[in-house]
Structure 1
Amino acid sequence: MSESKFNPRTMILLLIIIFVSIIRVAAPFSGDFKVIANFSAVGAIALFGGAYFNNNVKAFAFPLLVLLLSDIFIAKTSGYGFFYGGWYWTYIAFILMVVVGKVMMNKVTVLSFIGSAVVAVLIHWIVSDISAMYVPGLYPPTFAGYIACLTAAIPYEKSFLYGTVAYGAVMFGAFEMLKAKYPYLSLTNSRIAA
């Protein structure tokens, strides 16, 4: 009978995600919420989950659960609606961003992180902005309306990119430093995959 040892890798990954999520949940209480709303950690959380969770259920479930819970909390506390028309496009974009983390970040480096962040933000921009077509009176539900929406979203996506890079630098940097100090956190040294 093999002895199962506790592997703190999953717990540490979750703690990093939860810490960054708390910052996101606190954002609506800022007086500048509309200004900082897109300077968000969600892109970094998606990439982080994709890059570090070897188990696909954890890679997708943990970041999606954090997004869902924080969206519900923000909607309840700030008065911003949650189930707006086409809201699911944001979740589809988020799932695709996790895939980017899994595919592009087999080895976590500064270059793979920056490249993944850019691709994730492009996916977010192209996919999540489809939801604007479902909001009555916002943009006409036509190709021209979609292009107008994408054009109007450029400043917000720049903020999203800055947030993804800033929060990602903290998340990836913290875990890589922990792995350097505690090699048993590395998948190659762990008996139980995260």
Structure 2
Amino acid sequence: MERKSNTRVLVLLLFIAVVIGLRMLAPLSPDFKLFANFSGLGAVAIFSGSYFKNKFSGYVLPILVLLLSDLGLALMMGESYVFYPGWYYTYIAFALMVLAAQILVKKVNVANVFVATLVGVLIHWIVSDFGMWLGFDTYPKTLAGFWECLVAAIPFELKFLYGTLVYSAIMFMGFEVLKSKFPSLKQHSAIA
């Protein structure tokens, strides 16, 4: 039973590693801004919240993925990509996305994953842009200023939504297909 559980964890981690790799390829694109928010990091949070029953792993992995990819982007693109003013709100948003998946995806199916993705992206939009609004002097520190910040973020959040939907579809469908072919990937313990 322990071997089956280890196999499941390794396969889940492999799915997450592929998404990290894809995010690290984005800066190599001739027009990085086109792909900047079209990433699978939101899908990693939804995926982890849905499949990792060990609460520690469910939260730590997406945060670690975010941190490692931020550090990688900082090395490739400059230090403004990591630990910018209000950066911790983005990390809080990802933790809340994991929580949303844990609550909304009791059973993995298209409807539950879709709803968790929409709720997760909404959480990301509000919480991370709250950090942007507070951390920078771009917008006035009023309710109208916060609304202006949210409106300005719509194009970025739409890319984040599209990326989260696409990567969620790939990750969830891929893992469910593997589970149907390899019964050892089905959950048998509280490890994964």
* Fold shared, TM-score > 0.5 on shorter chain: yes
- Runs of at least 5 residues in structure 2 that lack an aligned partner in the other structure: none
Tell me, yes or no, if the aligned pair for 2:53 and 2:190 is still in contact at 8 Å.
Answer: no
Instruction: Give the TM-score normalised by the residue count of structure 2.
Output: 0.94
Q: Write the mapping of 1:21-170 to structure 2, written as runs, cut at 5 A.
A: 21-81=20-80, 82-170=82-170
Conserved? CA contact 1:21–1:66, under 8 Å? yes
How many Å separate the matches in 2 of 1:56 and 1:91?
16
- Measured after TM superposition, the shift of residue 193 of structure 1 is 2.9
Cα distance, 1:186 vs. partner? 1.1
Range moving further from structure 2, 74-83 or 134-143: 134-143
Q: Secondary structure of the equivalent of 1:40?
A: coil
The Cα shift of 1:32 comes to: 1.6
Q: 1:33 to 1:69 in 2, by over 3 A?
A: same
- Equivalent residue number for residue 174 of structure 1: 174
| Aligned-pair Cα RMSD in Å | 1.4
Aligned length: 190
Contact 1:139 1:148 in 2 (8 A): yes
Question: Aligned equivalents of 1:136 and 1:127: distance in 2?
Answer: 14
Shift of 1:134: 3.5
Ranges in structure 1 where 5+ consecutive residues have no aligned partner: none
- Contact 1:25/1:70 (CA < 8 Å) preserved in 2? yes
Q: Please give the per-residue CA displacement for 1:88-119, whole angstroms capped at 9, x wherever unaligned.
A: 00000000000011111110101111111110
The answer as to whether partners of 2:4 and 2:184 remain within 8 angstroms in 1 is: no
Once the 2 structures are TM-superposed, how far is the Cα of residue 136 of structure 1 from its aligned partner?
3.6
SS at match of 2:42: helix
The corresponding residue for 1:19 is: 18
Q: What are the superposed Cα offsets for residues 32-83 of structure 1, whole Å, 9 maximum, x if unpaired?
A: 2112111111110000000000100111111111110000110111115111
**What is the distance in 1 between the residues matched to 2:160 and 2:104?**
19
Deviation at 1:16, TM superposition (A): 0.4
How far off its partner does 1:146 sit?
0.7
Output the CA distance in 2 between the equivalents of 1:9 and 1:45. 16
Give the C-alpha shift of residue 26 in structure 1. 1.3
SS of alignment partner, residue 53 of structure 2: coil
> Where does structure 1 differ by over 4 angstroms across 4 or more consecutive aligned residues?
none
Whole-angstrom CA distance in 2 between matches of 1:4 and 1:185: 12
> Which amino acid is 1:114 matched to?
F
Return the alpha-carbon distance in structure 2 between the equivalents of residues 191 and 49 of structure 1: 16
The residue type equivalent to 2:25 in the other structure is: A
From the superposition, tell whether residues 58 and 168 of structure 1 become closer, same or farther in structure 2 (CA, over 3 Å).
same
2:191 counterpart residue number: 193
Change (3 A) 1:48 1:144: same
- Aligned-residue sequence identity (percent) comes to 47
